[in-house]
Amino acid sequence: MIANANPLSNYSWYEANQTKPKGPTLSLLIPVYNERQVLTILYKRLVKVLNPLAISYEIVLVDDGSKDSSGDAMVDMCKTLPYLKVVRLSRNFGKEAALTAGLHYVSGDATIIMDADLQDPPELIPDMLAAWKEGYDVVTMRRITREGETWFKKFSAHSFYRLLNRVSDVDIPADTGDFRLMSKKAVEAINQLGERKRYMKGLFAWIGLPTKEITYHREARVAGTTKWNYGGLVGLALEGITSFSVTPLRLTMGIGVLTALVGLLFAAWIAIKTIFLGEIVPGYPSIISLMTVLGGVQLISIGLLGEYVGKTYFEAKQRPVFLLRDVTESRPLMINEKY
């Protein structure tokens, strides 16, 4: 007798007939870090857009270790307001980790990621849902204007996206932040990616799937201040480039070859001058300039190499991307109970 010829025979009838409780149609995923001032405005504005749509939804708020009591405030909101799920992380892990965490707790057929500060207007949700219903798995939102940001931030963001696209192997859409819709299939794909150092915009692009782009005007923050400083943004930019390309390493190799060639030509020129023209070459300035240039090139290369080695080091440790403090959900509404 062939044992277990049918692979399904290991499953009991009971297991085969268990279906997971069906999630809502739409999940909103919002990372929150020190956003006490915007929470109520955010909830009100979301409900105003979502309720007329007559679909089932949940709002998943991820508290990224806020220090301003946003976490407690959100847990309190669960006691009185419906459709909320609050995921609190054990400390501040950064927006990328907060999104990673949230994507494990959304259960909707579609998930929309947006910022807590209402810079991503909720009024666009119906358009995003319409595109999803047309059959797209991902709906990306490209900013055509940005309110309330300095020209320097706009300029550096603009240049960074173009540079990243040139050097990276995947096509990461320009001027497109984390504000986007993803189907369940896309969310499951992201959840399969195991890397610890996560540049989400790159990962979102890496999975592919049919994508539609919608353009919009990015508003200024409703309240509070930005959580980013230039140090952090430069770090994120480096993370983005080194996570998705080894072009910088190749570039240093190119620079190495170039400097070596120039050095050789220079040496040949000196030899010719001394042997045939009998000129004694004054050495001090040329040696100093060569030494500093070469030293600089070498240090930059080592630094770059270090960036990649450091990455491997962090991946090898296999620490989780985030740690959970707790998860709180709103009480389900009773039948016929209206909010």
Residues of the shown chain interacting with ligand UDP in the complex, contacts defined by CB under 6 A: 31-33, 35, 64, 92, 94-95, 98, 115-117, 119, 226-228
64 is in the binding site of which of ligand UDP, Mg ion, none (Cβ under 5 to 8 A by kind)? ligand UDP
Rounded CA separation 88/157 (Å): 30
Residue 51 binds which entry of ligand UDP, Mg ion, none, CB below 5-8 Å type-dependent: none
Q: DSSP per residue over 152-221, as a string?
A: HHHHHHHHHHHHHHHH-SS---TTEEEEEEEEHHHHHHHHH---SS--HHHHHHHT--SEEEEEEEEPPP
* Euclidean distance between CA atoms 60 and 189, whole angstroms: 19
Answer yes or no: are the C-beta atoms of 71 and 155 closer than 8 Å: no
In angstroms, the CA 101 to CA 95 distance is 10
Please answer whether residues 90 and 320 qualify as being in contact, where contact means their C-beta atoms are separated by less than 8 angstroms.
Answer: no
When CB distances are held under 5 to 8 angstroms depending on the partner's kind, the choice from ligand UDP, Mg ion, none that residue 96 binds is none
Q: Taking CB under 5 A as the rule, which mask of x and - marks residues 58-97 in contact with Mg ion? A: ----------------------------------------
Find which of ligand UDP, Mg ion, none residue 95 binds, CB within 5 to 8 Å per kind: ligand UDP
What CA–CA distance (Å, rounded) separates 26 from 187? 12
Q: Least separation, in Å, of the C-beta of 33 and ligand UDP?
A: 3
Give yes or no for residue 119 binding Mg ion (CB under 5 A). Answer: yes
Judged by CB under 5 A, the residue of 58, 117, 120, 178 near Mg ion is 117
Minimum CB–partner distance for residue 311 and ligand UDP (Å):
20
Part of the chain binding Mg ion (CB under 5 A), chosen from 76-84, 116-124, 173-181, 252-260 = 116-124
Residues contributing to the site for Mg ion (CB under 5 A): 115, 117, 119
